[in-house]
Structures are given as structure tokens and as C-alpha cells.
Chain A
Amino acid sequence: MTESVFPEARGGAGPLAGAGAVWQVARAGVRRRRVQTAVVGIVVFCSTVSVVVALGLLESVSAPFDRAFAAQRGAHLVAVYDPAKAPASAPARPVPAVTAASGPFAQATVTIPDTVEHLPPGPLTVVGRAGPGGPVDRLDLWSGRWPARPGEIVLDRPPNPHWSYLLGVRFTVPERPQGFTVVGLASSLSRSAESWVTPAQAEELRPSAAQMLYRLGGAGTDADVRRAADAITAALPAGSLLGTQSYLAVKRDHGRTASAFLPFLAGFGVLGLVVAVIIVANVVGGAVVAGFRHIGMLKALGFTPNQVVAVYLAMILVPASAGAALGTVVGGLAARPLLDDIGLSVFNVALSPWVYAAALAGMTAVVTLAALVPALRAHRMPAAPAISAGGGQPSGRGRRVHRLLSGARLPRPVSLGLGLPFARPARTALTLAAVVLGAATVTLAAGLSGTMTAYGAAAQRVGHVHTVIHVGQARFRETPPRHGDAGIETLLRGLPGTVYVTADAWIDLHVVGQPQPIMGRFLRGDSATLGETIVEGRWLEGPGEMVASPAFLEQQGLRVGDRLTLSLGRARTQATVVGVTMSGEPDLIHADWRTLTALSPSAKATQYEVRLAPDADLEAYHAAVRAADPGLRPVAKSRTDQNAVTVIGFASLLTVLLGTVAALGVFNTVVLTTRERRRDLGTLKSVGMTPRQVTVMMVTSMAALGAAGGLLGVPVGVAAHRVVVPAMARAADIVMPAFMIEVWSAPLLVPLALAGVVIAVLGAYVPARSAARLTIATVLRGE
């Protein structure tokens, strides 16, 4: 048979020659190791879904308003001119601060009568624009079309299908008896108008003002915007500017609701990423470790080390890429509706292509790396020990089992099972690590949800304030109230259903000696019932007291008990810091009304926050407010916090995904371990154990591991929560009161600890029972 003694003289095939052999072995591995293939596929699938959701989340929470605002090329400054005084071309004159301008657009006001069904009665701002686009304030025309002829109107509504019923609605107003038909719904983050019509239609409504929209080069602070406004109007005839609106005011409005949850969502995003990576690494690493004998055989056969690595990478990457591809698609589908809700129905949050690309490429890279590290160990390993190490020879393992058996009197399957994990410490450590990680992950995720719920309720002040009554302002062409400030408060207190009323004034003022203005929120009435959470000190009780956010105090270098001097124009007054709020903007302080009186005796409240009696009907109450004074504009605060519901839905989805991934990780490790011990099981049966005893023994050993892992993992999760939550809060300038961190309770923790046992038992039961049922001979001669 040997034609040549040194056959390599035939000319060698290169290392690439065996590519077909590599693929054949890998394919056979994928087909024949169904549990491993399925687990790798499903784990990568779930992980990819959570990564897509988490990345989408991170992307949208990183600056939802700014991103949406930039996408719309929103107007940093909306200026309203008197068309009689300012010539139409004048406002557009180049000013260095202005990078883009749009307008002038004719602006008129129509009055919606009480008889119109679907629209709130009162004044409605109408602006004439030829289309939704332009260099500034590109409206998101998310439903219907732009008006083409007189009588057609587009309303400003957030992109939420809920509003679609408005399409086609007809209504008449005194200013246009022929009426309007709603042909479209658009959303403007700049809040430049409440509705739009064709320019011709706007002219017909006898516009009272002309609107200009500006984008500014630098518009980070109120001062920037104010400076730009001054520069723009400097060249204009005196009195031609009727009013301006800064996007920062709009942004603050959004901030209060959306940004409250951002640190938690970001935390969840990061957790999702980290856990997905670790578990994929664990599962893939386990598959390679379990294949050491296989690796040795391939090497003995003449597979080069690189080819062995290739076989293992291929065996993992086939199911992994399928899982990653499917996960990216499903993740995108799952994230869309959730992210729309994160936009809080105010603006559309788009998932950019990089999220998909990063998830797909990132997961593949992670899997490759995770497989590569142990595969490279196989690369270095000489073939001889690998063949004998995991080998079919019953000597090593058999002897160990026999020794165990002689130590413990038969039949004692339970005590034997408890001893088994110590027989192979490396495998046991891997299993234990999987359980600990799984239990810790689920614990941390559950804790984050709990903290988030508590924080959300506090930040949103659910149940404390039911409706906020805004005061119409003439400068925005709104109907001013008939009553004075004190009169409105008295009026509201007199209305049936009112329980508490707090009057608010938001006023720009200075800390003496500092050029940057700050925002003062001055409170009168029942301010203690607003539900602001105080984390240090106490709430306002008298004149000369103030409360501020941790960010403000840190910036100013102040503590509870310190005093500072506030100025408004020439007036000055002192205030003492008596408390710290849980969160808030770095330039916002809360102070008692009498502090404002000291600065500006004539200041008036701009809104009134009302808590209603539990049985009061909100709609009826609003109608009563409008009837009492048409200049009052009530806005309901939702009783159940929709944002919290959405965000917790998100957190739950991630928790479930991470839990599934963790459970699969444990399941996989346990199945592999049990499989490996099939020969031991055969040996045990050969010396007289019943199949039932074998199953009990195996399940007991894994349950013990599961219990140990759960007991270790839950405290690890709780500890991680204690570290992560305050760190997250600090990053977001929030100080968490203790009750938001101590969200743990025994009914929550016990099932979490038990989950490890349940998963381990399930993972052990199936393969142990099938091994126990096999005839001894099959087990002993197999593999």
C-alpha cells in the first residue's frame, strides 16, 4: 500500500487544503449537538433583542428632545412682530447669531366656540405657511396632508394615533363662518403655532402679527437666547417686537416628564449589554470546554491548530449568526412601539441604522471573541493529553466514582448527589458562575424596576396635583384673565371639588454677584401638598426660605443652612437653604411667595396647581374653570402616570429577556454537565443504582448548585443595585431618598433565590432521566 516511503514528497497541500473537512466537522457538530446549537442560537437571539432595545433606548434617552429638535431643525427663537411697525423684510436681516431664519408668516387668532365638539374652546393661534418644510421648524406632518386651499387647516398634535379621529373634523369660528376642515395633523417641537393654514387663508383672517423663526449658532442657555433676541430686534423700530419664545422654555416642559427616567433607562441599557456579553461568553466558552476530547481527536487526525479553532468558531457562529440576524429584526420590531412611547407621544423617536448595525456586528464580534478565547486554549493544547483527559477510558472517572461509592453506603443517592459537584471543581465553578450571574441579573433588574417605579411616582408627583391652571398671556395673543392674581386663587378655592391650591410664579432672577440668571419658582398657598420629595432638610415653611436641587447646591457650593442673596432688578433679599429636592435643574430654586414679594411687590402667579377631591370630575371641573374666567386654561395632569407605565413596560421587557438569557445560560451549563456524567451514571447503575436513584442523585446535585448560586447571586444583585442606583443618580444629579433604594422585600427575594434551583433542576432532570433510562451498556460504550 505504501508507494512511497516519504509521501510528503508528493507535494504538500497547504493549511487551507482541509477547508472542506473543517466545514464538514463543524456542520456535523451543529446538526448533532442540538441542545448546544439551540441554546447558543436562542441566547444570542434574546441577547440581540435586548441589545437592540437597549441601544435604541440609550440612543433615544441620550437627548430625546435635542435629537428630535435637531431633526426638525427646530426654532431656538420664535419672534412675533407687529406687521404695521416692522416691514416684512426687516426681521430677516442678517445677524451673526442667527444661522437660519424662516418667515415672516402671518399669524392670526381665531376663537373656538364652546359648541365645537372635538376641540378645546377658546383662542387658537393660526399661522399661514406654504408647507411643513423650510430651513427652520420642519413640521412633522404625521397624518393627512398640508392645506391646499382656504378652509383647510392642520392642527398641532403630538404624533400619537390617538388623535387621528380629528382628521376630517369640520368646525366654524366667528372669524370664518364658512368654517374649517382638518386635513392634517402635524407636530412642532418649536411650538410655533397651534394650527396652520395656507398663506392666503391667513391673510384673509386679518393677521394681528407676523412670526419669524430663528435657529441660533449658540443657544445653550437662556442668556444666549436673550442676547440673540436683543441683537435681532436692535435694528427694528421700537415697539415692533410683540414677544419672543425661547425653545428652552419648551424643553424644560418636556424635561420634567421625560428626563426623570433617563438615568434608569440608560442603566438598563448598559446592564442589558453587559449581561448579554457575559452570558454569551459563558455559553460559548462552555461549549468549547466541553469539546476538549473532540479537539484532541481532531488534532491526532491531522487538523492544524488553526483548523481546530475554525471548526469551533464555525460550530458556534452558525447558530449565533442566525440568532443575531433574527434578534436584530425582532429587536427592531419590539423597540419601535416602545420607543414611540418613550417619545412620550410628543415627538417621534427614530431608531437609527447604526443601532442595527452595531447590534449585529457587535453580537457577532462578542460571540467570536467568546469562542476564540477558549478555542485558543485548545489551539495551544498538545493533542495527547486532550485525548486521554476527557477520554473514554473509564479509569479516572470510574475510580473516582468507586471511591465515592465505597465512602457512602448504598443506596444513598441524595448524599451522593450532594458530593458530586466536588468531583469536578472546574465544571462546578462554571455552573455556579452561571447561576450566580443569572440570579444577580434578575435581582438587579427587578430592583431597578422597583426603584424606578418609586422614583417615577415621586418625580411625577402622581396624585398630588390633578390639574394645572395656566393664565392666558396677552403677549402670546392669549386671552388674559378677567380676575387678578388673588382673585383667581379665591375663585379656584371656591370652586366645588378644589382641595388644595398652590399659586406658582416662574421668574428669572440673579444670585448676587453672578452674571448668569437663575429660575425662581415662588410658591403661595398649599405648597406643602405639591408632593416634592425632600432628601435632606425640610420643605418651605416661611418667608426667607428656599429649597433647591442637588445640582444647584453643588454648583453654588451651598449646603442646608447656608444663606444667599437674590436680586431682581435693583431689589435684593436674603434666603436660607432649608432643604434639598430629589432632582431638578441646576438653575432652579423654590422659594416662598413672600421672598418674591420682597423682590417684586407686584409679581403675579403664572399658574395654579390644584388637587381635587377624590370624587371630583376633572372634565366638569375644567368646564367650570373656563366658565368662571375664559382667560384660564386648565391642563390635566394624568392620575396614573403614563410615562411610568411605559418605562416600566420597557424595564419589564428587558428583565424578561435578561432573565431568559440567564436561565438558558444555567440550563445549558447543567445540561452539559449532566451529559458529561452520563458515563458515571452508567457506572453507578452497573453497581446497582436504580434509574430513579440515578435521576434523584443528579437532580439533587444540580439543585444544590442552584441553591448555592441563588443564595450567592441574590445578595450580589442587591449589592450591585446599591452601587449602581446611587451612581446612576449621582450622574444625573439626583439624590435618592433611602426608601427608593430599599425596594427589597422577602416576598420578592425568596422567589428570586428559588429560581436558580428551579432552573438547575429542570436543566438536570431531562438529560439525567434520559441517561438513567438508557441501558447501561449503551451509556458505557457510547461516546
Chain B
Amino acid sequence: MDSHHDHDARLVVRLDGVRKEYGTATALDGVSLAIRAGEAVAVMGPSGCGKSTLLNMIAGLDRPTTGTAEVCGRDLGAMTETALALFRRRNIGMVFQFFNLIDDLPALDNAALAAQLTGVPARQARDRALELFDELGIADRRDAYPSALSGGERQRVAVARALMNRPALLLADEPTGALDSRSGEQVMDLLIDLNQIGQTLLLVTHDAGLATRCAGRLVELADGRVVAEHTLEHTA
């Protein structure tokens, strides 16, 4: 692994010996991982092995107990909460299994909000969100509130929101977990398309088939450790 990032300065993620403890429980036990720009990496492993924790570390939603997490060249452990928020809104897009949309806002505003946070005026933010909605095929649902959307529609709104600021890194935590297989396929295809036009992608999934289809590299986690890594050959 070291040989990778020694000669490649365009590392988007560099984890070095990251440990995370919750009380006496160890969620991550010395994970090191590097992701280059444009890569698509899938993380797999049994329930409770630390996949979500790993993603939270990379997104700056939580801090390592020891070890360093560097994303886009910044050491997240050294940043304040506010700096992390500013960093996150510009560099990271996140998609969750249970969508985490804001119930109070209609679909389009949910997505537009991400751009507004970076100082884009509301009108322009909505225009950009609408572009994404068009591409994702949910433009006709833009005024619906999240509770009125289907799971697949909600996840596509969440993807649109994640892409609003053209993030350097798109993180997806079981994005198809709550969806039926058809909606799941659609979301996966979407992620593959994104990766093909250069979007760096880190994906957590249980579905080995999906993982091999869309990722160029597969990381296996067990008990908080990386137990295997495979590079996948495909010409999709």
C-alpha cells in the first residue's frame, strides 16, 4: 500500500493506523487505507465490523481515538468542528442507508441547501439541483416532501444533495440497503456513471455482486481491521 501513495500525490484519502474506541469496545483497530482520485473503492464485511465508523472518520463526522485521517491533503484530526463543517460541505458528499433527508423541506430544497451552505444564492442552488434532478429522473418530484417519496426517490434526492458541490469524494453507506433490487440497481448504475466521469467513490455494501460491479478495488473489514484487499479488473 505504501508503494501506492509514495509516487502518487493525488491521494484523496489517507488513513494511517486509525483506531476508534467506544468505551471499552473497539470499532476500528488500526486501519490504514489510501484512495486515489478517480478510484471507486468498496468496503465489505460482517455487521458491526466497523464499516460505518470508517466512513464517519473519513467524513469528519467523528474523530479517531489514535492514528491520522487525511482527506484531500488535510489532517482531519487537527481541525476544529467548524473547520470540519466547512471542509465537509466543499469536499465530501454523503449518501446514507436511511437517506437522512430533512423532513421539513421539499425534495428540491433538500438538495439545494447543500449549495446554499457554500454561499451560492438560493436561485442558482435550485437551478443546479434541478439539473441534477433531471439527470437522476426525479425532476417531477421536486416539490414533494420526503415523507411522500418512495425509498428509491428519497435515495436519489440524497445523491443529488451529495453531488451539489461537486465533491472530491462521494461516500455511500449501504445506499441500496433500504431499496428494492430495481431501485438499488438504478442507484448503483448512477454511482458507476459518476465514477466513470471521474468521481472518487467510497462505498459500503453488503452486496458482493454490486460491489464487484461498480468498484475497482474491494476492501474487506473484520473486527475493525482490514483483512483483505482485491483489485478488480473490469472494463465496464
A residues in contact (CB < 8 Å) with B = 1-8, 10, 12-15, 17-18, 20-21, 24-25, 28-29, 31-33, 294, 296-307, 379-380, 382-385, 387-388, 391-393, 778, 781-783
Contact = CB atoms under 8 A, between A and B. Distances in A.
Interface in B31-76: 37, 52-53, 56, 59, 61-63, 72-73
Interface in B72-100: 72-73, 81-82, 85-92, 94, 96, 98-100
Contacts of A385: 62
Contacts of A14: 119
Nearest to A5: B37
A298 B81 CA distance: 13
B165 A7 contact: yes
26 contacts: A1-B197, A2-B167, A4-B168, A5-B37, A5-B72, A15-B86, A21-B117, A24-B116, A25-B102, A28-B104, A32-B103, A32-B104, A300-B61, A301-B113, A301-B117, A302-B89, A302-B118, A303-B89, A304-B86, A305-B81, A306-B82, A379-B81, A380-B81, A382-B61, A382-B62, A778-B147
B72 A6 contact: yes
B155 interface: no
Contacts of B107: none
Closest 7 CB pairs of A and B: A302-B89, A17-B119, A13-B119, A28-B104, A21-B116, A304-B85, A18-B117
A554 B102 CA distance: 67
Contacts of B85: 299, 302-305, 307
B78 to A, nearest CB: 15
Contacts, number: 148
Interface in B139-160: 147, 151
Nearest to B193: A1
B38 to A, nearest CB: 8
A318 to B, nearest CB: 13
B122 interface: yes
A730 to B, nearest CB: 51
Given A7-B90, A12-B86, A305-B85, A297 B117 contact: no
Contacts of A303: 85, 89, 117
B179 interface: no
B19 to A, nearest CB: 16
B118 to A, nearest CB: 5
A781 B103 contact: no
A294 B113 CA distance: 14
Contacts of B88: 300-302
A6 B91 contact: yes
A1 B166 contact: yes
Given A1-B166, A1-B198, A298 B103 contact: no
B197 to A, nearest CB: 5
Contacts of B59: 300
B56 to A, nearest CB: 4
A480 to B, nearest CB: 83
B12 interface: yes
B178 to A, nearest CB: 9
Nearest to A394: B98
Contacts of A33: 104
A2 B198 contact: yes
Given A302-B89, A387-B96, A21 B82 contact: no
Nearest to B11: A5
A393 B97 CA distance: 9
Contact of A8 (B90, B99, B103): B90
A387 B100 CA distance: 8
B81 A304 contact: yes
A28 B61 contact: no
Nearest to B37: A5
Nearest to A26: B104
A2 B62 CA distance: 25
B214 interface: no
Interface of B: 10, 12, 37, 52-53, 56, 59, 61-63, 72-73, 81-82, 85-92, 94, 96, 98-105, 109, 113-114, 116-119, 121-122, 147, 151, 161, 163, 165-168, 194, 197-200
Contacts of A4: 166, 168
Given A20-B121, A382-B62, 5 more contacts: A2-B168, A7-B167, A8-B90, A384-B56, A392-B100
Contact of A25 (B12, B105, B122): B105
B61 A25 contact: no
B104 A29 contact: yes
Contacts of B167: 2, 7
A778 B92 CA distance: 32
Contact of B166 (A2, A32, A382, A384): A2
Contacts of B86: 12, 15, 302, 304
A28 B109 contact: yes
A296 B62 CA distance: 11
Given A13-B119, A18-B116, A20-B121, A383 B194 contact: no
A264 to B, nearest CB: 46
A28 B168 contact: no
Contacts of A10: 90
Contacts of A20: 116, 121-122
A499 B2 CA distance: 112
Contacts of B166: 1-4, 7
B161 to A, nearest CB: 7
B90 A12 contact: yes
A17 B115 CA distance: 10
Contacts of B104: 25, 28-29, 31-33
Contacts of A388: 52
Contacts of A12: 86, 90
Contacts of B89: 18, 301-303
A304 B85 CA distance: 5
Contacts of B99: 392
Given A5-B10, A384-B61, A391-B98, A13 B56 contact: no
B61 A1 contact: no
Interface centre among B61, B62, B72 (most CB of A within 10 A): B61
A2 B114 CA distance: 16
Given A2-B199, A383-B61, A17 B113 contact: no
A96 B149 CA distance: 87
A18 B122 CA distance: 10
Contacts of B197: 1
Contacts of B82: 15, 304-306
Given A18-B117, A20-B122, A24-B122, A5 B161 contact: no
A17 B82 CA distance: 13
B12 to A, nearest CB: 7
Given A25-B102, A392-B98, A5 B168 contact: yes
A31 B114 CA distance: 20
Given A1-B197, A7-B91, A304-B85, A382 B168 contact: no
Nearest to B161: A301
B147 A782 contact: yes
B37 A781 contact: no
A42 B133 CA distance: 40
Given A24-B109, A306-B82, A781 B151 contact: yes
Contacts of A24: 105, 109, 113, 116, 122
B61 A6 contact: no
Contacts of A1: 163, 166, 194, 197-199
Nearest to B109: A24
A297 B81 CA distance: 15
B100 A297 contact: yes
A7 B168 contact: yes
B114 A302 contact: yes
Contacts of A31: 104
